[in-house]
Each structure stands twice: as structure tokens, then as C-alpha cells.
Amino acid sequence: MPNIAIVGATRGLGRSLAEQYVKDSSNTVFGTGRKAAPKDSDPSIKWITGVDIGTPAAGDEVIKGLNDIKGSIDTLIVTAGFFGLETFDKPDWDAQVTMYTTSAIGPVFLVQKLVKAGLLAKDSKVILVSSESGSITLRHESEGGGNYGHHASKAALNMVNKLLSLDMKEQGIAVVSVHPGFMRTEMTKGVGFDKFWDEGGAVTPDVAAKSLIDWIETFDISKTGTYWAPRGAADIGTAEDTIGPKDKLPIPLQLPW
């Protein structure tokens, strides 16, 4: 029975992933949340609460919550995220610290502790949910600047992905960072992005989760340390200006750093 662990599973993409994975009775699905589990969640999901990826204790809390797991984690998906809107005129120090901690610091300590505890082992897959916003190549004047913490913390996450892949390759643990798609979530609503929901190829978390799950099935150690958009470039507004016509780019698409 495959063991699936999703960090940040109480809402958005993480919740959709947990609910879709648990529909397959052969899967054992663990979902983490900072607070209580959603009251209307599927009762088959095994919840681990009190997990904040932005703290050093996150790994220990996950390990405690996995005390009855049989074997190791087959697929670990880290979806937890935070977005703070910024402009050049109004940068936000505290928001940037939270974004870096959540995206690029927390995952290192979480993964390291799970490996040392034997909960990530040969053939395990680690999926780090990043964003196309973390690609330096894809940034273009047509989009402009701003949102420094958001973009730079995702770029840092992509570096973490690469470095973890080098450290864990000999153990047969594959790691990857992914852009699951521009989604209609609370994180993108009301902060300047909701205007792109209809014109920018935005999809619901359920749709993004389905395409990500399908892609994870194809992911193995041969692709470790890489950076992918399972849904392609349809929602990447700068693609035409930076990497070519969207209708000629492959799906799934390996993204440039």
C-alpha cells in the first residue's frame, strides 16, 4: 500500500491532493495542518496537526504523527506556502522572512529529519511545490518587478531542490520542484492576481491536483533535481517573450532555472 504524505493539506492544492489520493483505497494518505483537521475532510485521511513548515519542529511533529506507518513514505508532497504582496515602494520585511522560511528553509529541515528517521528511503519521491515565478529566465519586463519575496523564495526553493537531489541521489530518493499551475485559491484572490483567473489559464485546485498526480506517476530518479510544469506553459504569461510560442512548447514542460 503506497504511503502518501502531504504537508499543507488543509486547503487549496494540498487538500485536493489528499482527497484525490485517498479515493484509491490502496493508498494510505497522511495530511498535515498547522491547526485542526478540516471537519468535512475524508475520514480516511490520517491527520497530523500542529505542523508548521516554517518552524524547526515541523519534522519532529511529522515523525511523531507517522508512528503507525508501515514502511516508509513513497511520495512526500510539500505544498505549504505563503504569499505576501509587495511593490518596490512598499517592500515587506516580515512577509519576506515568512516566505523564505516557508518555501526554502523549512523543507530542508523537514526532509533531512525524515531521511535520518528512515521515513524517506530508496525509491521515495519528494515533490516540492514551487512556481514558475521562481524561474529567473521567465521573468520579463512585460510582467515588471515587485513581489520580491514571492519570486526569490521560489527561486531559492528551486536551489534547495537541486541540492537535496545531490545529497539524496545515492540513497535512491528522487526530488523535484514543480509549478502545478496558476490556481484559483485564497492565496491568489484579492491580491492583484484574481483578474488573471479567466484570461490567464487559471484552474481550480482539483484540476491542478489531478494533473500533478498523473505526472508524479511518471517521475523517477532519472529526473531528480529538475523543475517541471506538468500542465505546460498555458498559464505562464511571460512564456512567449522568454522561451517561445506556447502552442509549440511540450506538455509537460521542463522549466528553465
256, 233 in Cβ contact below 8 A?
A: no
DSSP 256: P
Mean pLDDT by 10 residues, the chain (257 residues): 96 97 98 94 96 97 96 97 95 98 98 98 98 97 95 98 98 98 65 52 89 98 98 94 96 98
Q: What is the pLDDT of residue 1?
A: 85
DSSP string, 154-215: HHHHHHHHHHHHHHHGGGT-EEEEE----B-STTTTTTT-GGGTTTTT-B-HHHHHHHHHHH
| Domains of the chain, each with CATH number or no CATH | 3-254 (3.40.50.720)
Q: What is the pLDDT of residue 202?
A: 76
Q: What is the pLDDT of residue 183?
A: 84
Peptide bond into 230 cis (omega under 30): no
Q: How far apart are CA 129 and CA 17, in angstroms?
A: 12
DSSP 125: E
- pTM score of the predicted model: 0.94
